Amino acid sequence: MNLTYPTTLVLQALANGFHYGFDVIDATALPSGTVYPILRRLEREALVRARWEKPEIARREQRPPRRYYELTAAGEALLETALARYRAPQAIAARGRRLRPARSS
Amino acid sequence: MNKPLDSARGRPLSLRVARRIVALTSVVVPRAERAEWRREWEAELEHRWAMTRRRPTDWRSGMDLIRRASGAFPDAAWLRRQFTADADLVHDLRHTVRLALKTPGPTAIALLVFAVGIGATTAIASLADTLLVRPLPLSDADRIVTIWERNTATGIGHADVAPGNAIDWVGRSRSFQAIAAVEPWSVDYTGGDEPEVLRAGRVSERFFDVLGVRMFHGRAFLPQEYVRGNDRVVILGHGVWETRFGGDPALVGRAIQLGDEPYTVVGILPPDIELRLLGGPERVLWLPKYFEEYEPKIRTSGYWNVIARLSPGVTLEQARAEMDGLSRQLATELPRSNTNTVAEVITLRDHLAGSLHALVPLLAGAAVFLLIVACANVANILIARGALRGRELAVRQALGAGRGRVVRQLLTETLLLAAIGGGLGLFVARWALDLIARLRPVDVARVDSIPLDVRSALMAFGLTIAASVVAGLAPALQLSRPAAATALHEGQSGGPRRGVRGALVVVEVALALLLVVGAGLLLRSFALIQKVDPGFQRDHVRALQVFAYDRRNEKPEGRALFVQRVLENMRSLPGISAAGVVSAMPFIEANMNIQAIVEIVGRPPAPPGDDSRIFLNVAAGDYFQAMGISLLRGRLLNERDIAGSPAVVLISRTAARTHWPGADPIGSRLKFRYHGRPFEAEVVGIVGDARHDALDQPARAELYLPHAQAPTGAVTFVVRSREGSPVTMMDLKKQIWAQDPLEPLYRTATLDELVDRTLVGRRFSLVLLAGFAAAALLLASAGLYGVLSSSTSHRTREFGVRIALGAGRREIVGLVIREGLLLAAIGLVIGLGGAVWLTKFLRSLLFGVTPTDPVTFSAVAAGILVIALVSCYLPARRAVKVDPLIALRAE
């Protein structure tokens, strides 16, 4: 797996509780055209697992169900390696919280 | 798919645009993932909007939504790339390229083999297409036929028609919507640099209706122009109009001077009209023809052509049946002249295809054989390479690749090889077609201009597909056999697939043998035909043909004097050993082949059908010395045989044999008509036979009159020079022009050239077939070599053991060679069997050998065995170099 800086950012966003595509975009401040291919790649490499949001939640909010991403064990391990390589992304947590959607449970 | 939940809620423009972007982009996403992908994106967009809708919407969040939606495109593109990268085809192709780069040697050979096989086949296919399939540049040209005479006694057909027969055919046949006779003609044109003869045809009334051409400029002849005194009009061929008259459209309606008369140009033919009528190069001028009073009486000398267009609804068979009936009718009416004469209807296309018409199927067969050999060869290379890949394929199958998947991969490899090889093959085809054009057989129209175009490319494409399936299927099935998985634990030893590879080599050897036998038969025919004694000596003889009939040579005495003076002048040149004239020059294209029924005084006339025709020829000067024709008995013609003296003739040996069997012709008196004039002459000598039209046709019965007693204007000067004579053709022409500065020369050539011209067709078929045979032989021996080398490398350990156990090098060599020779021998036997059956199709091209000529067959078989031996010896020598220690350690 090609462990780039944006990949590391995405991994860390997922680890920090941002589970939806647009939330990861908010958290990392990366463009959507970068984040999504990274998510696809991670999913393909089984570093990330994707599921659909429960329909009840979506119905309650009167919108379609969203796709939900979470790290697998391998993904978490990779994040460890990545963090060892790039120390900076720690900052994301703070920034991410600030942008966290109001709706959040 | 996800429906908008409630459009009435009034989504803002930004969301609608964003959703539209996603919807449009979704087409890029691979179909299997598309629906889910779109749902995900739409859900995110909807969610984002749902969040912001609680706050006052500002334009910034709208822009953000659109910006995010535009990220869908890189996402979709990424998925598509992944998808294609994973697709089997692309994967297989990449794999093939990697593999090809890893094994450049076998790959290059396979490409080359494909290029030659596909190229040769494409060239022949283009040739066949041009000659037999493509439309001619005439309207509805496949309804046009040519009609010829066939002599049922001699079997000689496709022969020029006697005017009387042509006139009856034109007048009596009902199958044709238009039918016309064409008479060979020529006109002197002195408007150029030197006086020249333009080859013309005089055509009877419906000629241009038969052709169905629209004039390029002007018009066809009017009915009233086919009338004596009204016929000083001419239609020019496109070529001569451009080269001699500058392509000026204003020429139509103007008069040009031809010979002694002005002719009005009424029309110009469109370009590319090729009819090949009346023999030799294409006619360039057309004049109207009306039938002369005496012409219906000419029944024995054929020199006209007949061309016709079938009436609507009339089939070729019906026309043939009608002409057969008409021929029988004429034979009943004119038993003396027409008993053995029948009309032969040949389509214009077949007439134009000439000798290639018979040759094309043969060449097509040869090309297909070569292609099969090429495919077998590539298959062998692939299997050999596959053997090295045994592990890779076994691993693939072990990992779950189905057999179909592996076959597909192997076929893709072959297809790629064949595609590149086919591309290269187009170059090979171009080259081959140029070669064909250079070898051009004289009687074949349109060979110069065989295009290599989209049609050829399509044919090459089809051949490529076929070749790759043929070449790829056997290896693919072979290598993908589940049993091949044993390769996993088999290591390197064991020579797998020798059975299939051996079979392929057998096929190659058998087909190569077929082609070599064919080429061998043609070669032997060619050698034999060149050894034929034509009855004259070919070297150091030059021929200059004139038709001295114009006003200056109107009187017979004038013509006799003209000939006599020219001969005197020619003899006075340095290094000239003999000079003479003859009216029917052997091997020259345009001859007045005049035949007469000869009556021997004191004998009852021959019954009808008993062919008592003799060719009439006129000679003077040292014609027989110049040609090297020997005098067998009696005397030659001499200068005392003049107009007033007793009429004499010489006869040829064949005439003596056929007309005076067991008797002495010398002193016999003959009665016959020449140019309508009755002759009674005494036979004073017998000369040797001279072949007349072709080396493979028997000499004809011939009779020679002295020119002074029959002063024809159609003569060929024949001049023999001694070794090292400085006299050039121009020097000889000048001797003619010294007597008549306006006399054009119809044809000038050396006798060698004239004879050689008749061999062009044979040389052509020989070179082509030999080319195919050589290529097939090369491929077959390469195949044999390849099989044996890989089999010996597989048997390294076995040889090592044998050597360790005391086997001599000689035994090892014997072992390998025996394996190879066995394959070659099986191939030989099959090939010989096929050859016995197939060479009968060559019969029409053979001369002096039977289709199963034992000399050719055994020589070819021996030759192929020797080649096989050499192909086996090289791998065998490598086998004995095995060091037993290393061989055993390798395990």
Element (H, E) at B60: helix B59-70
Specify the pLDDT at position B887. 65
Q: How confident is the model at residue A105 (pLDDT cuts 50, 70, 90)?
A: very low
Q: Does B61 touch chain A (CB under 8 A)?
A: no
Specify the pLDDT at position B889. 65
- B-chain CB neighbours of A66 within 8 Å are 40, 43-44, 47
Separation in Å, CA B268 to CA B181, B215, B242, B271, B391: 20, 6, 10, 9, 73
B106 pLDDT higher than 80: no
Specify the pLDDT at position B843. 83
Q: Does A63 touch chain B (CB under 8 A)?
A: yes
pLDDT digits (tens, 9 = 90+) for B462-498: 888 887 887 787 777 777 776 544 544 444 434 445 6
DSSP of B727-759:
--HHHHHHHHHHH-TT--BSEEEEHHHHHHHTT
Closest CA to A69 of A89, A44, A93, A88: A44
DSSP at B618: E
Beta bridge partners of B346: B146
Smallest CA–CA distance, residue A103 to chain B, in Å, is 7
Smallest CA–CA distance, residue B73 to chain A, in Å, is 7
d(CA B7, CA B9): 5
B623 pLDDT higher than 90: yes
- Nearest chain A residue to B70 by CA distance is A33
pLDDT digits (tens, 9 = 90+) for B381-413: 877 777 667 677 777 777 766 777 777 777 888
Residue B836: Cβ within 10 Å count: 13
The arithmetic mean of pLDDT across residues B758-763, rounded, is 82
More confident residue, B296 or A97: B296
What Rg, from alpha-carbon coordinates, does chain A have? 14
- Nearest chain B residue to A100 by CA distance is B51
Specify the pLDDT at position A1. 57
Size of interface A-B (CB pairs under 8 A): 74
B70:A67 CB<8 A: no
Q: Does B43 touch chain A (CB under 8 A)?
A: yes
Closest CA to B501 of B872, B777, B790: B790
Specify the pLDDT at position B488. 46
B301: CB partners within 8 A, 6+ apart? B162, B592, B593, B594, B595, B596
Specify the pLDDT at position B147. 96
Q: Do residues B823 and B504 make contact, with C-beta atoms less than 8 angstroms apart?
A: no
The arithmetic mean of pLDDT across residues B775-783, rounded, is 85
Of the candidates B40, B67, B74, which has its C-beta nearest A21's C-beta? Answer: B40
- Tell me how many degrees the CA angle B118-B121-B124 measures, rounded to the nearest 5: 150
B830 pLDDT higher than 90: yes
B47:A63 CB<8 A: yes
Q: Does B451 touch chain A (CB under 8 A)?
A: no
Q: How confident is the model at residue B619 (pLDDT cuts 50, 70, 90)?
A: very high
Instruction: Using a pLDDT cut of 90, give the percent of chain B over it.
Output: 33
B280 pLDDT higher than 80: no
pLDDT digits (tens, 9 = 90+) for B506-521: 988 999 999 999 999 9
pLDDT digits (tens, 9 = 90+) for B336-365: 888 889 999 999 988 887 767 777 788 888
B71:A35 CB<8 A: yes
Specify the pLDDT at position B3. 43
Q: Do residues B686 and B665 make contact, with C-beta atoms less than 8 angstroms apart?
A: yes
B647 pLDDT higher than 60: yes
Smallest CA–CA distance, residue A44 to chain B, in Å, is 10
Specify the pLDDT at position A97. 43
The arithmetic mean of pLDDT across residues B601-616, rounded, is 75
Average per-residue pLDDT for chain B = 84
Task: Of A45-49, B195-199, B213-217, B268-272, give the lowest mean pLDDT range.
Answer: B195-199
B75:A36 CB<8 A: yes
Specify the pLDDT at position B278. 82
B48:A22 CB<8 A: yes
Place of tokens 């055994």: B858
Interface test mutation site (partner B, options A32, A45, A61, A104, max chain B beta carbons within 10 A): A32
B788 pLDDT higher than 90: no
A99 pLDDT higher than 50: no
More confident residue, B252 or B885: B252
Q: Do residues B476 and B412 make contact, with C-beta atoms less than 8 angstroms apart?
A: no
Average per-residue pLDDT for chain A = 79
ipTM over 0.90: no
Specify the pLDDT at position B890. 55
Using CB atoms within 10 Å of the CB of residue B639, give its burial: 0 to 12 exposed, 13 to 18 middle, 19+ buried.
exposed
Q: End-to-end alpha-carbon separation of chain A, Å?
A: 33
The arithmetic mean of pLDDT across residues B180-190, rounded, is 88
- Nearest chain A residue to B76 by CA distance is A37
pLDDT digits (tens, 9 = 90+) for B418-462: 888 888 888 888 888 888 777 766 555 566 667 777 777 787 778
The arithmetic mean of pLDDT across residues B594-603, rounded, is 84
pLDDT digits (tens, 9 = 90+) for B34-85: 888 999 999 998 888 887 776 666 777 888 888 889 889 889 888 887 776 6
Q: Phi and psi (nearest 5°) for B579?
A: -145, 135
- B-chain CB neighbours of A102 within 8 Å are 51, 54
A67:B43 CB<8 A: yes
Structure tokens, A27: 């958290």
Specify the pLDDT at position B1. 41
d(CA B518, CA B872): 25
Q: Do residues B374 and B114 make contact, with C-beta atoms less than 8 angstroms apart?
A: yes
B48:A25 CB<8 A: no
Q: How confident is the model at residue B14 (pLDDT cuts 50, 70, 90)?
A: confident
In A, residues 16-45, which contact B (CB 8 Å cutoff)?
20-22, 25, 31-37, 40-41, 44
Specify the pLDDT at position B490. 46
- Tell me how many degrees the CA angle B109-B115-B116 measures, rounded to the nearest 5: 95
B682 pLDDT higher than 90: yes
B46:A63 CB<8 A: yes
Is the Cα torsion angle B871, B875, B876, B881 positive or negative in sign? positive
pLDDT digits (tens, 9 = 90+) for B118-132: 888 888 888 888 777
pLDDT digits (tens, 9 = 90+) for A71-88: 998 888 888 888 777 665
B144 pLDDT higher than 80: yes
Residue B248: Cβ within 10 Å count: 13
A96 pLDDT higher than 50: no
Structure tokens, B278: 């009346």
Instruction: Using a pLDDT cut of 70, give the percent of chain B over it.
Output: 91
- Nearest chain B residue to A38 by CA distance is B75
- Tell me how many degrees the CA angle B626-B631-B634 measures, rounded to the nearest 5: 135
d(CA B433, CA B431): 5
The arithmetic mean of pLDDT across residues B753-758, rounded, is 87
Q: How confident is the model at residue B185 (pLDDT cuts 50, 70, 90)?
A: confident
Q: Do residues B309 and B178 make contact, with C-beta atoms less than 8 angstroms apart?
A: yes
Q: Where are the beta strands (DSSP E) in B675-713?
A: 677-687, 702-706
More confident residue, B583 or B447: B583
- A-chain CB neighbours of B74 within 8 Å are 33-34, 36-37
Interface test mutation site (partner A, options B55, B68, B73, max chain A beta carbons within 10 A): B68
